[in-house]
Structure 1
Amino acid sequence: MPAWEGIWPVAPTPFDTDGRVDIAGMGRVLDCMIDQGATGICILANFSEQFLLSDEERLTLTRLSLEHVAGRVPVIVTISHFATPIAVARARLARDLGAAAVMMMAPYHGATMRGTPQQTFEQFAAVGAVGIPIMVQDAPMSGVELPVPLLVRMAREIEMVKLFKIECPQAAAKLRALIAEGGEAIEAPMDGEEAITLLADLDAGATGSMTSASIVDQIRPVLSLWAAGERDAATDAYARVLPFVNHENRQCGFRAAKALMMEGGVIASDACRHPVLPLHPATRAMAIDLARRLDPIVLRWGK
């Protein structure tokens, strides 16, 4: 099993200007992320625009990604679905193709259909029976509250529930409570949401971070320095990247990584599928400018 620490960015899904998945570009995205120094990679997450993909495309991207990465780094496959049998089937596929873990949110569909705490527990238990480590994604998108006692129960009673990506409001407070109440059962508490709360989350005990794929090589030193006990240096390193991280998180979302990858020659297009709008040209230009000040690998990888 991999060490559940370090930086685990989410792979964007490239589309061509006609809206088709760019298969060749996907391989280049994965290679670029590995060259940036990613500890591992997560695919088919919200920042991969998984909600814009067909089931057939998901299958193609799962196979392609795991075969292309070929064990160079571990890969986490996102499998969230409201229907438990579908989440279980996706977990089996990920396991059979060699994924290191799966990631899933609590069951939800739209704004009003949400799993109860017991239904959430049962879905994670069913996926756990597949026999692959699970990352619990505690994200506002689901609209499902995952209280600390529920997460601790899941960690203690479902063997495969090992990782926790906490990206709810006041994530540091929840991480601190989760670690205090769960003890050794909380194997890998992780930060998310593009590292916008990374420093506070590390202080609360996070051991890793799931960021975007934009500036992996620039954020990774923050985690390395913090793990080495060099808090002042880690704080300085975080302050250096924070203008871009803030702009990405508050203004761009998942569109930033694709804009940088297009600028750096990794992919040919930063297109998203309708109804997602392209970045405003000024917002996109600022993202490129803020990133360029950091000289990240992504802006020179394909040139």
Structure 2
Amino acid sequence: MAKYSGIWPVAPVAFNDDGSLDLEGNRRILDCMVDQGVDGICILANFSEQFLISDAERETLTRLSLEHVAGRVPVIVTISHFATPIVVERARLARDLGAAMVMIMPPYHGALLKGTAEQTYEQFAEVSKVGLPIMIQDAPLSGVDLPVPLLVRMANEIEQVKLFKIECPRAAAKLRALIEAGGDAIEGPFDGEEAITLLADLDAGATGTMTSAMIADQIKPVLTHWAAGDRAAATAAYARILPAVNHENRQCGFLSAKAVMVEGGVIRSDFSRHPIPPLHPATRAMLLDLVRPLDPIALRWGK
């Protein structure tokens, strides 16, 4: 296995029904994820609803997560923000609390305010000075183009840029081009998007994946078989989980993991803050119908 490899799911954020943070619920989520056998945990990412929490809540969750995980698995803290000084401040807090690395999208704000290639380079270079490994998140949400030559340049010239979460359209093609152009500088090529393109991405050279926390224990065998060179077993394991992954990716989004965790007694509520609507009851029911045959840990952890 590569130095940076395996499954590093995103921890969802638990709210109470009144919209306040459920701190104990968030601790239970982390414990459930550790019990899933994950290789690492990512916090405060888009699937953590980072766009629905305040700065004070972000700091609370950073402290809670790192203190509660307490080194059982490495934790990656998402620190994205348009303003470079704020990104650097978040990186320092993550470092001081014991994070293993940080994940950052390129600077953007809304649909039209986007960092240029040079501004993106400069922001990542400033964060590198904090001293934590950096994962670049190449996600459609930012709307910022991150061409392979720019990513390779940053990998070669910015000391701490080591990992890349590629979840743009045709991720496998970009991963393959990135690995071919960057060579040993690309230490951790990962994919995302709930593993909807995982098999193709592994074939392109990905060494890890950042999924949701819904069925991480059921997705992990795909990576384990692939790393062992058993392509047929990896394909069979992927085919087994794909209907649930597809429904999550195309129908439910970040609400899926919380719906399963409520059903499994991990948390009490799958509430999300306005303007996010709850899952339609039929969509939620189909999700659970697809997940139950897989018997994931999250569906029985709290029972």
Give the TM-score, by structure 2 length. Answer: 0.99
Which residue in the other structure is 2:102 paired with? Answer: 102
Which residue in the other structure is 1:46 paired with? Answer: 46
- Deviation of the 1:3 alpha carbon: 3.3
Which residue in the other structure is 1:154 paired with? Answer: 154
Cα distance in structure 1, aligned partners of 2:162 and 2:260: 32
Is the 2:47–2:254 contact (alpha carbons within 8 Å) kept by the matching residues of 1? yes
Name the aligned partner's letter for residue 76 of structure 1.
I
Name the aligned partner's letter for residue 298 of structure 1.
A
Q: How does 1:25-40 map to 2 (within 5 A)?
A: 25-40=25-40
Is the 2:82–2:108 contact (alpha carbons within 8 Å) kept by the matching residues of 1? yes
Deviations 1:97-143 (A, max 9, x none): 00000000000000000000000000000001111100000000000
Cα distance in structure 2, aligned partners of 1:155 and 1:97: 25
Which residue in the other structure is 2:86 paired with? Answer: 86
Which residue in the other structure is 1:3 paired with? Answer: 3
Deviations 1:162-213 (A, max 9, x none): 0000000000000000000000000000010000000000000000000000
Cα distance in structure 2, aligned partners of 1:183 and 1:199: 21
Which residue in the other structure is 1:252 paired with? Answer: 252
Deviations 1:234-270 (A, max 9, x none): 0000000000000000000000000000000000000
Is the 2:264–2:300 contact (alpha carbons within 8 Å) kept by the matching residues of 1? yes
Is the 2:3–2:187 contact (alpha carbons within 8 Å) kept by the matching residues of 1? no
Secondary structure of the structure 2 residue equivalent to 1:293? helix
Name the aligned partner's letter for residue 50 of structure 1.
Q
Cα distance in structure 2, aligned partners of 1:40 and 1:292: 24
Cα distance in structure 1, aligned partners of 2:38 and 2:185: 25
Which residue in the other structure is 1:226 paired with? Answer: 226
Alignment RMSD, CA only? 0.7
Cα distance in structure 2, aligned partners of 1:41 and 1:62: 12
Which residue in the other structure is 2:77 paired with? Answer: 77
Cα distance in structure 2, aligned partners of 1:157 and 1:96: 25
Which residue in the other structure is 1:241 paired with? Answer: 241
Name the aligned partner's letter for residue 86 of structure 1.
I
Cα distance in structure 2, aligned partners of 1:275 and 1:20: 15
Which residue in the other structure is 1:284 paired with? Answer: 284
Cα distance in structure 1, aligned partners of 2:136 and 2:288: 32
Cα distance in structure 2, aligned partners of 1:273 and 1:267: 16
Secondary structure of the structure 2 residue equivalent to 1:89? helix
Cα distance in structure 1, aligned partners of 2:20 and 2:209: 30
Deviations 1:4-27 (A, max 9, x none): 100000000000100001000000
Report how many residues are paired: 302
Deviations 1:198-232 (A, max 9, x none): 00000000000000000011000000000000000
Unpaired segments ≥5 residues, structure 1: none
- Deviation of the 1:79 alpha carbon: 0.1
Name the aligned partner's letter for residue 146 of structure 1.
L
Cα distance in structure 1, aligned partners of 2:143 and 2:153: 20
Cα distance in structure 1, aligned partners of 2:157 and 2:189: 17
Is the 2:190–2:209 contact (alpha carbons within 8 Å) kept by the matching residues of 1? yes
Which residue in the other structure is 2:163 paired with? Answer: 163
Indicate yes or no: 2:144 matched with 1:118: no
Cα distance in structure 2, aligned partners of 1:67 and 1:3: 24
Give the TM-score, by structure 1 length. Answer: 0.99
Which residue in the other structure is 2:23 paired with? Answer: 23
Is the 2:11–2:48 contact (alpha carbons within 8 Å) kept by the matching residues of 1? yes
Unpaired segments ≥5 residues, structure 2: none
Secondary structure of the structure 2 residue equivalent to 1:163? strand
Cα distance in structure 2, aligned partners of 1:229 and 1:299: 30
